[in-house]
A and B are shown apart, each in its own frame.
Chain A
Amino acid sequence: MFDKYIICEDGFQNVSDGQQISGFQFKARLPYYRGLGVSMVEDLAVKVDGQAIPREAIRVTLHGRTYTLAELETEYEDRWEFGEPGTVTVMKPGGLSAGAHTLEVAPSLRISYLPFILVGTDAKELKLASA
């Protein structure tokens, strides 16, 4: 449920570390009806044009705070709120080529009262915003 709202239509762009293009980013929401403590986000799998991104290369920025996926797991106070677009940054020197790319994003959520891990999946073709 709510899977089609995971990937936001805006905010897909390359990012620079000040010297060169260091990766790309997009905005994403969690596929759940309420906000969750970020430690309950077990994984955030990202594929671009069919290619899986290594977990270590992914960062999530929520209301100004940036985490690796490993850091999310042990942060027990901060929350990813209902409908809140978080910024997902993929560290990839050179970024992506101009034009359209297919993004696939699958958050895995550990909801205490569900006897399974809730996995939502969204795929969208988005055009990279020009720098």
Chain B
Amino acid sequence: MTDKPGPILGTTLYSFTNDWRQRLYTLESLLEKVAALGLGPALEVVGFQTFRDFPDVSDETARHFRGLLDRHGLIPSCLGGNLDVGRRRDRLMSPDEMQTYTERQLISAQKLGFPVLRIQHSVGPAVMERLAPLADRFKIQVAAELHSPLVADHPAVIELRECYDRLGTPYLGFVPDFSSTMTAVPEGHWSSLREAGAPEALLAEAKAIWITDRPAAEKFGALAEAAARHGAGPDLAGGLNRSLTMFGHAAVSQWTPLLPYVRHIHGKFYWVEAGRETSIPYPELMALLKGAGYQGTISAEWEGHAFSEELLGFQQVQAWRAMCDRLLAN
């Protein structure tokens, strides 16, 4: 019996946000370095970070981008789209507006050659259903990103799964993110709150709230109450909120029911040291994906830039890659 092919690894340019922000690289030089370091072949970008003419990329932009990927032997994995439902201050986008806004990005995904368009789950089943005909025609999967606290048994996810099952198309799905199943909040996050003036007692309370299995709304409430009691200002309260919006701690088993709808995964991570991610259970996650025969793509998605402006993206993605290669070879 021969081994089945496993996941295809790669990276998202979002991992190099700090380098990009400091104007040390252009799109061209980033892609060149990704290829030179062997961090491909799967390549993901965020549309609104990468293309000045997004959500309607021109033929010229598309030709240039495809040419760059070809030259460096990279393959497009996922285009990060955004729904921006709160674009208007007076009301949320209507279903018609959500459809049009997403279809423009789907057309760009088709021009650029991406097989998956990531959008936010707030698109909901009704609009997803409207997007299905264009997704089917282009053979591009429109996929709802699943971050903390969205896991397989979350009501919003169940609704989408029911919609996908009813329509029976492979071109609607999910892009789940390893940050939904973490074992701890990254130390870098607590350090940044400490620097912003959070007292140790408040951090201890925040950690205790994070680790509970209470509903998200209750956790936000408890955190706001603790922040107010410790006299935290709006900046610090916002930072504390990110403990819950960015880091989930659901069970790894929550991944199994999602996999039939998944072609691309966000391999979120914050800190890899000595071959180990310090807050995400990569050995269990990789074993689960390999065991399930997952053959889609996984992007290294380093988000340490949420707490540090240090230029660690390339070093961290290389460390992530070595860790994943080793875990998948086992």
> In the complex the two chains form, what is the Cα distance from A86 to B94 in whole Å?
30
Given contacts A35-B54, A83-B20, contact A112 B48 (CB under 8 A): no
Please encode chain A, from 95 to 131, with 1 for each CB lying within 8 Å of some chain B CB and 0 for all others: 0000000000000001111111011010000000000
Given contacts A81-B52, A115-B245, A116-B238, contact A40 B86 (CB under 8 A): yes
Mark A residues whose CB is within 8 Å of B: 1-2, 4-5, 33-37, 39-40, 42, 73, 76, 79, 81-83, 110-116, 118-119, 121
Majority secondary structure, A binding face: loop
> In the complex the two chains form, what is the Cα distance from A127 to B309 in whole Å?
26
> In the complex the two chains form, what is the Cα distance from A4 to B310 in whole Å?
13
> Pick the contact of A82 from B22, B48, B235, B305 — CB < 8 Å?
B48
Residue of A82, A83, A114, A121 with most chain B CB atoms under a 10 A cut-off: A82
Mark B residues whose CB is within 8 Å of A: 14, 17, 20-23, 46, 48-49, 52, 54, 82-89, 120, 122, 220, 234-235, 237-238, 241, 245, 305-307, 309
Please give the distance in Å from B252's CB to the nearest CB on chain A.
Answer: 24
Given contacts A33-B14, A40-B84, A119-B235, contact A110 B89 (CB under 8 A): yes
> Contacts of B23 on A, CB cut-off 8 Å?
83
> In the complex the two chains form, what is the Cα distance from A81 to B52 in whole Å?
7
> In the complex the two chains form, what is the Cα distance from A34 to B75 in whole Å?
22
> Contacts of A82 on B, CB cut-off 8 Å?
20-21, 48-49
> In the complex the two chains form, what is the Cα distance from A4 to B17 in whole Å?
14
> Contacts of A34 on B, CB cut-off 8 Å?
46, 48-49, 82
